[in-house]
Every structure is written in C-alpha cells, then in structure tokens.
C-alpha cells in the first residue's frame, strides 16, 4: 500500500477540517481518531461562532464564517448573528469593548432598554450588545467537516489511537497499536492531548493543556434571543489565568447550553452543575424552572498564550501542529485548518508569527 501524503491525528473540528482541506487540495489523507468524531470538546461545546475580541484572531473568525456558509453536509450557519450580550451584574465595572472592534457596533444597554432587547434577563444588569454570535449545535461543524473529508477521499480511521513516529529528525508516520503507519507528513490536531500524541522532546515545545468546562443543557420556557456571556471572558485568552466559573448561555434549535467552568482537572459534571445553574440564575432567572436535558463536560485545548499553535514545528521535519484554540475552536477551527493545510500542500505560507507553532 502507498503511504498517505499526510496523517492527521484527532477527529475534532480542527482535524476533520484539515482532512477535508488537504484531501480537496489533492493530498492522500488518513485521519486517526481514537474514540469517535467530535468525541472531545468539538462535540460538547456551547455551540457559538463569535468574534473573539482579539485582533490577532479576527481574520480567522471572518474566514471561518465564509467556510461555514459554504460547508453543506447538513451544516447550517444562521444567516444573521443572534447578537452577543456581554452582561455584568456589576454595571459600574463593565468596560466598553476596545474601539478597534467598532464594526461589531457595540451598544450599551441597561434598564428598560436591556429588558426590551432581552426580556429573559434579570433586573439590575448592564450589557454591551455586539453584532456577532451564530449559534450552532455543538457537534455540527466537526460532523459536517468529517463528511466533507470523506467526500473528498480522506480515509477516517475511528477507534485508532495514534502517536507521532519520529525517525532521524523527521516525522516518519504514526504508530497505532505498536505498528508504524508510514506517512509523508504528520499533523497533530489532538486538542488538549496534542503533546501526549507527539511524545518526547518535541512535545515539550507544544505547551497546550486542558481547561475543563461543564455545560448544562436545558429546555427553557422563554429562552434568550441573544448569545449571553458574562463580561470577563477576555481573561481566558490572557496569561493571567481563568476564573473557575463564568456564565454563558447559547440557544440553538430550542436547546440552551448554560456554562461554564474553567478547571485544570477533569471535573465531575453532576457535582458542578448546580453551581453553574446558580451562577447563571443571577443573570437568567428562568433557569431555575428549566428542564435539564443533560450535562456536557469537555476540555478546551489551551496554549500558553491563549492563541492557536499552527503549522510546521521547527526541529522535526514533516511534523505540524494545529491546536491550542482554547475557548474558540468552533469559531476559528476552519480557517486555522485551511492555513495549515495550505502550508503542507506547499502553497505560499501565510501563518502569522503570532500563531506559528514554533513560537514557544
Ligand atoms: C465548555 C466548552 C464550551 C465551548 N464553547 C465554544 C463555543 O461556543 N464556541 C467556540 O468556538 N468554541 C467553544 N469551545 C472550544 C472548542 O470546543 C474547542 O476549542 C474545540 O472543540 C477544539 O477542537 P480540536 O479539534 O482542537 O480538539 P478536540 O475537539 O479535543 O478533538 C481532539 C480529538 O483528538 C482525539 N485524540 C486525542 N488523542 C488522540 C490520539 N493519540 N490518537 C487519536 N485521536 C486522539 C480525541 O478523541 C478528540 O476527538 C468550548 C469548549 C468548552 C470546553
């Protein structure tokens, strides 16, 4: 059998989009996923494609929206954004979004104006409304890109845990069950498990760690019209660290996803769900009478500086990384995957240094 041009490790949004773009670009691709497509955060997230308020990531957001508009395979991006309300129960501390994001038309709302825009909110809050936020079911993007990859000829091997095989300073392929599967190049898109899938010295240059989130799925009598987010999520992309819980609520197709925690260790979702709902009820009183449908727990792949790590890793020929999207993998994953696929296909490299895999 001829070795594939590229082996992809990981079947989340990033790995599936990579497999699709690589195969569409003419590469022979094998994707290895140890559990199931979208088994990690790509199947259990809050489900919103939104601006990240980080200028270094704006072009990835814009480009990903374009990919989603044409993706097909059952994926539907709402034509218009639902609007994002950055809410605070301490209105005096609520800061305006930076002026450079004026295209999101930030509008300050409080009192009757906020109630009119979002009747589901509690009294006494203030918010900035931003023109962004497209709710989608959590696994929809990864599943559609997996279908797109298969349609383009990629071979998706499910139930296969793979690790990078490095020989003489180059990626020779992957090992699966102790057996070498040769490949021309390897790209690791294994979410928070990316360093584990690389192993050895090269793994130490990929500082990506899990940040676990618990989300409660509910059916609400009067679900919010907007995507709701407690002001402060920007700290998640700063190096200062993350608070343990921040409220968010996203409603897609009648199901509201209320989150979330930010924890380094795998949590017990049932133990944390009451706290997530109690914090959420400060903003959305209707949560107390909602019907709980289920719990989601998953890990954000968080890099040391909060931004994705993309492209060839210096020091090991033919080894690339596509991970570290933290809380924004659904939002940014398609454009990130396109950048890495283009680099591996030999197209002119466009990966900005701030997102390059070799920056640590
Ligand atoms: C609670 C929560 C809510 C979120 N909400 C949003 C949101 O609303 N919008 C947004 O943009 N982002 C959101 N995110 C972030 C987003 O979900 C992630 O950034 C994104 O899913 C990461 O995708 P990924 O493909 O990099 O990794 P993952 O989804 O983790 O996929 C990695 C895959 O690799 C597989 N794997 C691991 N090791 C191996 C191996 N050795 N061999 C083979 N397979 C392996 C795993 O089984 C997994 O399927 C949220 C995250 C959390 C935790």
Mutate to test the pocket of ligand 1, among 7, 9, 10 (most ligand atoms within 8 A of CB): 10
What atom of ligand 1 comes closest to residue 48's alpha carbon? Answer: 8
Give the tens place of pLDDT for each residue, 281-297.
999 999 999 999 999 89
pLDDT of 245 reads 82
Measured in Å, residue 305 CA sits from the centre of ligand 1 at 18
Average pLDDT value for the chain:
94
Mode of pairing for the β-strands spanning 179-182 and 185-188: unpaired
CA 133 to chain centre: 14
pLDDT band at 152 (very low <50, low <70, confident <90, very high): very high
251-261 per-position pLDDT tens digit? 999 999 999 99
In this structure, the residue with its CA closest to atom 12 of ligand 1 is: 328
Report the nearest atom of ligand 1 relative to the CA of 215: 1
Q: To the nearest whole percent, how much of the chain has pLDDT over 90?
A: 90
Return the axis-axis angle of helices 13-24 and 329-344, rounded to nearest 10°.
Answer: 30
Give yes or no for a contact between 273 and 71, defined as CB atoms under 8 angstroms apart. Answer: no
- Whether the per-residue pLDDT at 237 is higher than 70: the answer is no
- Lining ligand 1 with CB less than 6 A are 9-15, 32-35, 39-42, 45-48, 161-163, 189-191, 193, 197, 213, 215, 259-260, 298-301, 323, 325-331, 333
Tell me the CA distances in angstroms from 297 to 4, 10, 156, 199, one per residue in order.
34, 18, 25, 25
DSSP string, 61-92: HHHHHHHHHH--TT----SS---EEEEES-GG
* Å from CA of 350 to ligand 1 middle: 24
Query: In the predicted model, what is the mean pLDDT of residues 151-169?
Result: 97
* Residue 13 in this model has a pLDDT that exceeds 80: yes
Predicted pLDDT of residue 236? 52
pLDDT in tens, 87-106: 998 888 899 999 999 999 99
Q: Residue 93 C-alpha to ligand 1 middle, in angstroms?
A: 32
pTM exceeding 0.85: yes
**Ligand 1 atom at shortest distance from the alpha carbon of 42:** 21
Query: Please, which residues have CB within 8 angstroms of residue 137's CB and are 6 or more apart in sequence?
Result: 47, 252, 253, 255
- 349: pLDDT confidence band, cut at 50, 70 and 90? confident
User: Ligand 1, atom 2: nearest CA belongs to which residue?
Assistant: 45
Cα-to-centroid distance, 236 and ligand 1 (Å)? 16
Ligand 1 nearest-atom number relative to CA 213: 1
> If you ran DSSP here, which 8-state letter would residue 96 be given?
P
Q: How far is CA 292 from the centre of its chain?
A: 24
pLDDT at 234: 59
Ligand 1 atom with the smallest distance to the CA of 329 is 19
What are the tens digits of pLDDT across the range 171-218?
A: 999 999 999 999 999 999 999 999 999 988 999 999 999 999 999 999
pLDDT of 244 higher than 80: no
Mean pLDDT value across residues 56-81 = 97
**Among 7, 8, 9, 12, residue to substitute to test ligand 1 (most atoms within 8 Å of Cβ):** 12
Q: Which atom of ligand 1 is nearest to the CA of 190?
A: 34
The stretch 130-152 carries a mean pLDDT of 97
For residues 132-156, give the mean pLDDT: 97
Pocket mutation for ligand 1, best pick of 18, 31, 39, 40 (most atoms within 8 Å of C-beta): 40
């Amino acid at each position: 059998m001829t070795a594939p041009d590229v082996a992809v490790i990981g079947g989340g949004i990033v790995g599936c989009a990579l497999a699709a773009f690589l195969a569409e670009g003419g590469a022979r691709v094998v994707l290895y996923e140890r559990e199931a497509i979208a088994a990690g955060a790509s199947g259990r997230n809050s489900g919103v494609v939104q601006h990240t308020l980080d200028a270094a990531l704006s072009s990835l957001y814009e480009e990903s929206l374009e990919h989603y508009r044409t993706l097909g395979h059952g994926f539907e991006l709402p034509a218009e954004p639902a609007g994002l309300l950055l809410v605070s129960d301490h209105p005096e501390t609520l800061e305006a979004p930076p002026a450079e994001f004026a295209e999101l038309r930030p509008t300050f709302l409080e009192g009757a104006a906020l109630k009119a825009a979002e009747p589901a909110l509690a009294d006494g809050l203030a918010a900035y409304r931003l023109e962004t936020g497209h709710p989608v079911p959590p696994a929809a993007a990864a599943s559609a890109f997996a279908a797109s990859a298969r349609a383009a000829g990629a071979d998706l091997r499910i139930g296969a845990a793979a690790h990078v095989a490095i020989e003489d300073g180059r990626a020779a392929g992957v090992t699966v069950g102790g057996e070498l599967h040769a490949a021309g190049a390897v790209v690791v898109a294994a979410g928070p498990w990316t360093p584990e899938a690389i192993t050895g010295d090269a793994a130490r240059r990929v500082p990506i760690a899990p940040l676990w989130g618990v989300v409660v799925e509910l059916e609400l009598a009067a679900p919010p019209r907007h995507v709701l987010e407690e002001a402060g999520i920007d700290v998640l992309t700063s190096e200062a660290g993350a608070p343990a819980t921040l409220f968010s609520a996203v409603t897609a197709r009648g199901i509201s996803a209320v989150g979330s925690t930010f924890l380094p260790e795998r949590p017990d979702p049932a133990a944390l769900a009451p706290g997530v709902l109690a914090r959420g009820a400060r903003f959305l009183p209707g949560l107390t009478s909602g019907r709980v449908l289920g719990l989601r727990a998953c890990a954000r792949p968080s890099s040391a500086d909060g931004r994705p790590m993309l492209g060839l890793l210096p020091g090991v020929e033919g080894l690339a990384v596509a991970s570290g999207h933290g809380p924004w993998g659904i939002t940014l994953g398609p454009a990130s995957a396109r950048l890495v696929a283009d680099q591996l296909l030999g197209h002119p490299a466009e990966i900005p240094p701030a997102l390059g895999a070799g920056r640590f």
